[in-house]
Each structure stands twice: as C-alpha cells, then as structure tokens.
C-alpha cells in the first residue's frame, strides 16, 4: 500500500532527557531503586538519560533546616563518560533478596562507576577509618548483620549460624581479625565476647536493642552525618578478605562495590550460599 493511502505516520517520540526518581526509604534502598531506574531507562532507550534527577530521594538524610534540593553529590560523583549499549542489562531492586553470585557484575559495573563513585568527602572518611582502626583488609573478615526491622522483609539468620561460620573461618585462618557491623546492640555485645580478636567502629555507627524499627527512625536528627559514615563503612566492608552477611539492600551494595562475590558468604533462605 502506498504511503499516502496510510495517512500521516506518527513519529516516534524521543526519550525524555531527564530521568526523575522519587523513591524514598533507607539509604541503600534509595541507591538500589536509583540504579534500577537508570538501567530500566538504558534498556528501553539504548542510551543514558542526560540528567538523573534524584533531588527528591534521600529525604530521610537531608540535614534539618537545609534548603538544599539534592544531597546526592554529598555521597557520589557522576562520571562524564558514556556507556555503550551492547544489550539489555539485568538488574532490578528486588535482586537484593537473590543469590549475588548470579549478578552480572561486568555489565553492572559501568553504572556503579558512573553514578555511584564515592565523593571526595566519602573517600576521606574511608581513609580516616582505615587509619584510626588500622584496617588490614588482607587479614580482615567482616561479620555484617542487618537486623531489627529487616526481619519484616526476609528471614534473618540466628546469631548461632554467624558464630559457626566465623569459628570455621577462624580455624582456617588463625590470625584473622573480625570487623563487627550491625544495627543490633545484642549482636555487637555477644560477638565482642565470643571473638576477642574482633572490633567495631564505636564512634561511627548507631545501634539499638533488637526492635521492629530502624536506627534511621530512632536517631533522625543524626541521619545526615551517619549516612556518610555508613556509606564509607560499606566501602570498607567491600574491601575485606572475607564477608559474612545476610541478604538485603546493604549487603547487595557491599557486593556491587566489591565487584564480585569472592570470599563472600551470603545467608539467604535459611542457608549459606
């Protein structure tokens, strides 16, 4: 059929140049959704958005009485390089509760580099932590337990399973030291006693007695400063020789910043994988 018989053809609309993301919740939940939306846009349009507007995100962490629209640049820089489309990239926010060994780190890594490279301020905090606590990543195992309200999203490992895993790692590596990271006071107290060769960041983390809430809601006034600490601590955890963790947004970002799951023991669906 001739084109004039079909009538005027609708032109395909170009994709919007600005991607607006408004999801709010915990810090790494915001990060996971931000990454998800960017990759969705990339898969659909085969190009990156000109602008990623996350000014409405991270609301829990904006300083009180601050008039700054966005605080994303507090945490991250944006790399100016592009990403070539070579096929759809597989990543969605709910992957936090899947086996991280199945992540395509090679495909995802360019997005981490471009949108989630830590800012100079965060890198300085990392450096200060490394000096203050004499971190030797080559001989360090982090025991990361995200508890409290996380129990409403997924089944948490009992402390005893962490003790068994840590004991086995210690038997295989007699000189190993343990970095304890948790939002549950009971975890920090118990593991400090069980493993004398352990320590935690006493001045840089917040923790509460086991409860169905989160430190971000209990200590709202401190969220801005401690969110910077927690991002820096996550980067430190990603560098450890061994990582023992549960499943969730915090844990998947340890893996994403690590770029692989080597030496990583993830607890998922009532077992270590």
Same domain, residue pair 93 and 182: no
Domain count, the chain: 2
Q: Could you tell me if residue 8 is inside a domain?
A: no
pLDDT tens track of the chain, all 273 residues?
445 455 555 566 667 799 999 999 999 999 999 999 999 999 999 999 999 999 999 999 999 877 678 999 999 998 888 999 999 999 999 999 999 999 999 999 999 999 999 999 999 999 999 999 999 999 999 999 999 888 888 888 999 999 999 999 999 999 999 999 999 999 999 999 999 999 999 999 999 999 889 999 889 999 999 999 999 999 999 999 999 999 999 999 999 999 999 999 999 998 999
Q: Is residue 127 one of the residues assigned to a domain? A: no
Tokens matching residue 264? 């990583």
pTM value > 0.85:
yes
CB 251 within 8 A of CB 144: yes
Selection from 86, 53, 72, 83 nearest residue 117 by Cα: 72
Domain assignment of residue 74, given as a range: 18-78+86-120
- CATH number, domain at 152? 3.40.50.11350
Q: Environment class of residue 21 by beta-carbon count within 10 Å: exposed (0-12), middle (13-18) or buried (19+)?
A: buried
Residue 252 neighbours by CB under 8 Å, 6+ apart: 28, 32, 95, 96, 100, 103
| 168 and 198 inside one domain | yes
């Amino acid at each position: 059929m001739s084109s004039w018989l079909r009538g005027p053809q609708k032109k395909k609309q170009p994709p919007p140049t600005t991607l607006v993301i408004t999801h709010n919740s915990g810090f790494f939940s915001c990060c996971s959704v931000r990454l998800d939306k960017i990759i969705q846009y990339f898969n659909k349009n085969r190009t990156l958005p000109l602008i990623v507007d996350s000014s409405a995100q991270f609301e829990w962490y904006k300083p009180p009485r601050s008039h700054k629209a966005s605080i994303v640049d507090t945490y991250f820089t944006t790399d100016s390089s592009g990403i070539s489309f070579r096929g759809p990239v597989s990543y969605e926010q709910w992957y936090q509760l899947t086996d991280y060994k199945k992540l395509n780190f090679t495909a995802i890594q360019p997005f981490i580099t471009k949108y989630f490279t830590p800012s100079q301020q965060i890198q300085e905090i990392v450096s200060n932590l490394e000096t203050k606590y004499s971190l030797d990543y080559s001989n360090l195992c982090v025991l990361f337990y995200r508890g409290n309200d996380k129990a409403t999203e997924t089944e948490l490992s009992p402390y005893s399973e962490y003790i068994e895993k840590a004991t086995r790692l210690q038997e295989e590596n007699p000189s190993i030291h343990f970095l304890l990271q948790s939002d549950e006071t009971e975890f920090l107290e118990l593991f400090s006693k069980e493993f004398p060769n352990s320590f935690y960041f006493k001045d840089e983390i917040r923790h509460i007695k086991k409860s169905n809430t989160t430190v971000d809601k209990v200590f709202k006034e401190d969220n801005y400063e401690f969110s910077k600490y927690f991002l820096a601590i996550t980067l430190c955890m990603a560098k450890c020789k061994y990582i023992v963790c549960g499943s969730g947004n915090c844990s998947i970002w340890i893996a994403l910043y690590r770029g692989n799951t080597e030496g990583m023991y993830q607890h998922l669906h009532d077992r270590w994988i």
